[in-house]
Structure 1
Amino acid sequence: RWVPGIFQSTKKLFLSQRSGRGQTLEFIRKNAANGISLANLVAGLSSVLCSLNRQYHHSCWLLLVGFLLDLADGAVARQLNACSALGAKLDDFADFTTFGLATALLLQPQGVLDGSLAIAYVMAVFARLCFLSSAGIPFTYRGVPCPYASSLLASTFLLTGGHVTLLRVTAVVMILFMVDRGFYPHDKVLESQLWKKLVYIGG
């Protein structure tokens, strides 16, 4: 009698472990994109701290890391079919922190005009995330997404050695493009095999 009992206990233990592994994998699948969004948020907050300490080069690199994390976030969510309302809110909050607040601090606002430009940039990002994130047409955005504007500003800072005037002019242009009503290709298009083939053929 004790032999079948041991067998049943072993079987139950094996099944419970298998079920536990399955639940763990499912949890990871559902929250992988959220984890990347949190990493993006941490990068944005770290960039803010660097800018407040006038370590603008470090701030720029953190913004570029945030840009890559934002791309990965969307791609992972689509590949794992793990899109959720919580994930969307977390992504928007991370984007506002990294590509709005942290990026605006690169403009080094020191006066009324500089401060107004930084506020205008943050408000443009806010408007994009709230009202212009969906174009209503498949595979398109309305206006330039804020991660692309942020990465361009960070790259401009690094390539020009922190030329503030050029950076502010670029910020004005990016504000206009972010609130533009024109259509721009969605990340899904850029991730598609057809687009990669076209880039390969053209390059």
Structure 2
Amino acid sequence: GRGRALEFLRKNAANGISVANLLAGLSSILCSVNRAGLTPWVSPVPGAHLALPLAVPTGAKLDDFADFTTFGLGTALLLQPQGVLGGLLSLAYVLAVFARLCFFSSGIPFTYRGLPCPYASALLASTFLLTGGHVALLRVAATAMTLFMADCGCYPHDRVLESQLWKKLVYAGGVVAVLLAPTAVAAVYCLAWATSYIVFPFALWSCKA
């Protein structure tokens, strides 16, 4: 019946977001490998993984796998890993994402250890789009993001749909920008969002803010 259908959708909404995340990451990888004319956009909404709680362990594993594919492998290919230096940097970035997803649980409610990889990916993807893939600038930014993810510093974990109204509006604005706005506008929006989280994590984005 209708009630069961609504309950199914409610319980699997987070899984649907994870699957969409995974497909976006795979598409970005294919574009990078094939040098397609399409511009890769691996991290359209930095807080997408914070939207809804995951109800079952399988959902959590799916979310981590999707994050690793999109925010790890997909983003690393944007760094244009040619030569020893580029290859090592891309490898270090992917390993930082892997370690961040596997080991950096703070044990503190609503708190992460290390920069969440979607924000690092959003910053790098936005930089890629706005600079036309400027290799030197991307490598500098990737080095900084790798150090932020490997750091043990604390960052707030705030489920967007359980947060203040203005945060919901920021999230909704990101979705609208990615779907409807020109690429440059979406990139600037997500770059500002990611940068604000990285620079002012608790001043702006804490649950208690």
TM-score tier by shorter-chain length is: 0.7 to 0.9
Partner residue, 2:102 = 130
- Residue 186 of structure 1 corresponds to 157
Q: In 1, Cα distance between the equivalents of 2:25 and 2:19?
A: 10
The count of aligned residue pairs is 169
Provide the rounded CA distance (Å) in 2 between the counterparts of 1:23 and 1:103. Answer: 38
SS at match of 1:58: coil
Distance in 2, Cα, partners of 1:191 & 1:24: 23
Moved more, 184-193 or 23-32: 184-193
Matched, 1:150 2:121: yes
Question: What is the alpha-carbon distance in structure 2 between the residues aligned to residue 188 and residue 35 of structure 1?
Answer: 16
Query: Deviations for 1:166-187, whole angstroms, at most 9, x for unmatched residues?
Result: 1011101100000101111222
2:43–2:70 CA contact under 8 A, matched in 1? no
Question: 2:141 corresponds to which letter in structure 1?
Answer: T
- SS of 1:76's equivalent in the other structure is coil
Contact 2:17 2:49 in 1 (8 A): yes
Higher helix share: 1
- Bigger Rg, which one: 1
Q: Equivalent residue for 2:178? A: none
Tell me the equivalent position of 2:89.
117
Q: TM-score, normalised by structure 1?
A: 0.75
Name structure 2 gaps, 5 residues minimum.
Answer: 168-202, 205-209
Structure 1 distance, partners of 2:52, 2:101, is: 20
- Higher RCO, 1 vs 2 (CA within 8 Å, ≥6 residues apart): 2
Query: Residues 145-164 of structure 1, C-alpha deviation per residue, up to 9 Å, x if partnerless?
Result: 00000000011112222110
Specify which of 17, 22, 30 is matched with residue 41 of structure 1.
Answer: 22
Residues 56, 74 of structure 1: alpha-carbon distance in 2 compared, 3 angstrom cutoff: farther
> Quick one: structure 1 residues 83 and 190, their matched pair in 2 at CA, closer, same or farther if it must change by over 3 Å?
closer
| Aligned alpha-carbon RMSD (Å) | 2.3
Runs of 4+ in 1 over 4 A off after TM superposition: none
Identity %: 72
